[in-house]
Structure 1
């Protein structure tokens, strides 16, 4: 199933974040870091399994995963159905103070619970991209718009 524009943007951002040396590819070491950052424990997904998976993903046998190979993985991954009800539940989980909006601090904290570490600047940037009203926070409608629901 093709990625939505928002999913593609998220996958590309993830790829760039873990492409530590900026060469446009993920090495096996960078891929292990990405998998661990997603919270996949060594007990459930040992390094040897990551290596095997890496070799499957590396279609051109370059010993690295380029962006297109990575996007193919993203397209083929099992997905939770993204619908308005699921997104509204997620919004409420992110809105920790119950204010009806998500601040950069709340976004950062919510993502950290998913083992996704971002900087304060990245959290602020993500909020700014979705914040159509210009109040520095995301309300539920702005949140839904990110996912085009």
Structure 2
């Protein structure tokens, strides 16, 4: 850890931030700015096939948790992102039974069902075709996370309308 748990000139993280999350944050924050941008996040995240997460995935993840719209996340925002990444990874790993770093169409449909979504087989095929640039009919973990974020963004306006 870095002394008092904060960078010089940067405010302390909330006491509710898990020390392990703080340690990950400080490891990822290469320029020691107290903020993580998408490039720093990308350098830290590797999918199951040994490649860094896509820039699109990292930009979406930063954007999802960047509450002050700076293009970066602080340690408190990172803790929220960290929790989501672990949830998505848990679901993904549950269906990536051969540990190949990708899941196929039927497995993706099952993963979405576990998450509470009931998508038609045609829609699941569409999601894979939209994500799979190599036409392997599979989706990698970073593509899975991008898809989950996009679904969540589409779902939010509907939930807000229902609440009214």
After TM superposition, the score normalised by the length of structure 2 is 0.41
After TM superposition, the score normalised by the length of structure 1 is 0.44
